[in-house]
């Protein structure tokens, strides 16, 4: 068997694959954070809760109504997106002029509520979601075994990331969004409905999180607390990458997943801490982040 640095090739590539998948989730989540941050200038602390909601809704809809994966992939993000827009409209909008720290605290409170209520109803032990039949099994690539579902996650996550990047950087709607980031008052002056744009942006950002949640449902354990840990990791990813560029958020997310996977192969005890350690190093060497624009 081929060995690389004393680790069998199959093990290494298996961990790398898991790393890329985790990285895809980090990318989707930090992308949503970056989109929201761009226009609203807030850090959405409820992002982890929205990711969790996406996964929970998928499982609950299947158990209660028999709604399948494909419908959930569309329906769960839409439901969460609507919930997000309601949160923006009824809560965030009321403190729009205040210090951004308040909106961070507000979304933190919202996250506590969502997570707490669901924990009471469903407990923390985790729900099971049966993978759709299409995805059972996998393909042998020669050097490793590739489960179909994991391949699907990577492909679809990358497509969504690219689509978001394209929409923001290349379309007219994206141009409005970027302009709003620069100067929302001027935008308003040009007759563009900025409050609506803000609502849509927040809704879209949390939709991305919920979409990641649906993708996660068949492979991760679905619990009401699944969002809080991954959110802290994603915060570290965002600090590493900087939120200045959409592309930067995507690349950093995937890269960090791979770093985590490699650490798990070569030095397992550090795997849960490695992203935070990378963050420390980045802060020392390049405080504004790898792709950051702000000082």
Partner 1 sequence: MSQSDIQKTILAQQKSEDRRKLILNTVLLVLLLLAPFAIYPVFLMKILCFALFAVAFNLLFGFTGLLSFGHAAFLATGGYTTGYLLSNYSGLTTEMGIIAGTLVATALGLGFALLAIRRQGIYFAMVTLALAQLVFFFFVQSEFTGGEDGLHGIPRGTLLGVIDLENNLNMYYFVLAVFLGCYLLVQRIISSPYGQVLKAIKQNEPRAVSLGYKVDRYKILAFVISAALAGLAGSMKSVVFELASLNDAHWHMSGEVILMTLVGGMGTLLGPVVGAMFVVNIEYQLAQGPLRDWVDPILGVIFVVTVLAFRGGIVGEVQKFVRKNMG
* Interacting residues toward partner 1 by CB under 8 A: 42-43, 91, 94-95, 98, 100-102, 104-106, 108-117, 119-120, 228, 232, 235-236, 238-239, 269, 272-273, 276-277, 279-280, 283-284, 287-288, 294
CB 110 within 8 A of CB 49: yes
Closest approach, Cβ 21 to partner 1, in A, equals 21
Closest approach, Cβ 152 to partner 1, in A, equals 30
Closest approach, Cβ 231 to partner 1, in A, equals 9
Strand partners for 7: 4
Is the Cβ of residue 10 or residue 113 nearer to partner 1 in the bound state?
A: 113
Closest approach, Cβ 40 to partner 1, in A, equals 11
| Backbone φ/ψ region at 222: left (φ over 0), alpha (ψ -120 to 50), beta | beta
Is the Cβ of residue 4 or residue 117 nearer to partner 1 in the bound state?
A: 117
Is the Cβ of residue 43 or residue 55 nearer to partner 1 in the bound state?
A: 43
Strand partners for 227: none
Closest approach, Cβ 43 to partner 1, in A, equals 5
Biggest distance spanned by C-alpha atoms of the chain = 67
Closest approach, Cβ 239 to partner 1, in A, equals 5
Is the Cβ of residue 24 or residue 238 nearer to partner 1 in the bound state?
A: 238
Between helix 9-40 and helix 194-216 the angle, nearest 10°, is 160
3-state class (DSSP) for residue 146: strand
| Backbone φ/ψ region at 123: left (φ over 0), alpha (ψ -120 to 50), beta | left
Closest among 148, 205, 125 to 17, alpha carbons compared = 148
Sort 144 into a burial class: Cβ within 10 Å, 0-12 / 13-18 / 19+: middle
Is the Cβ of residue 75 or residue 112 nearer to partner 1 in the bound state?
A: 112
Is the Cβ of residue 117 or residue 175 nearer to partner 1 in the bound state?
A: 117
């Amino acid at each position: 068997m081929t060995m690389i640095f004393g680790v069998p090739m199959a093990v290494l590539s298996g961990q790398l694959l898991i790393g890329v998948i985790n990285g895809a989730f980090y990318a989707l989540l930090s992308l949503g954070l970056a989109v929201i941050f761009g226009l609203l200038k807030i850090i959405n602390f409820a992002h982890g809760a929205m990711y969790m909601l996406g996964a929970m809704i998928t499982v609950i809809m299947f158990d209660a109504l028999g709604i399948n994966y494909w419908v959930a992939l569309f329906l769960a993000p839409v439901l969460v997106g609507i919930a997000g827009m309601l949160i923006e409209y009824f809560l965030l909008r009321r403190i729009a002029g205040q210090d951004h720290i308040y909106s961070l605290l507000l979304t933190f409170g919202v996250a506590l509520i969502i997570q707490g209520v669901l924990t009471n109803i469903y407990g923390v032990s985790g729900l099971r979601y049966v993978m759709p039949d299409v995805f059972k099994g996998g393909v042998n690539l020669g050097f490793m075994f590739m489960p179909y579902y994991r391949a699907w996650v990577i492909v679809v996550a990358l497509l969504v990331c690219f689509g978001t990047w394209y929409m923001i950087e290349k379309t007219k709607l994206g141009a409005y969004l970027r302009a709003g980031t620069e100067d929302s008052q001027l935008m308003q002056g040009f007759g563009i409905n900025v409050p609506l744009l803000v609502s849509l942006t927040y809704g879209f950002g949390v939709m991305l999180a919920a979409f990641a949640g649906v993708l996660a449902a068949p492979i991760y354990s679905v619990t009401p607390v699944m969002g809080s840990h991954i959110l802290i990791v994603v915060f570290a990813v965002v600090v590493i990458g900087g939120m200045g560029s959409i592309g930067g958020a995507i690349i950093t997310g995937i890269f960090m997943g791979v770093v985590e996977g490699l650490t798990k192969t070569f030095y397992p005890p550090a795997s849960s801490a490695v992203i935070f350690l990378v963050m420390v190093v980045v802060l020392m060497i390049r405080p504004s982040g790898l792709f950051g624009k702000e000082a």
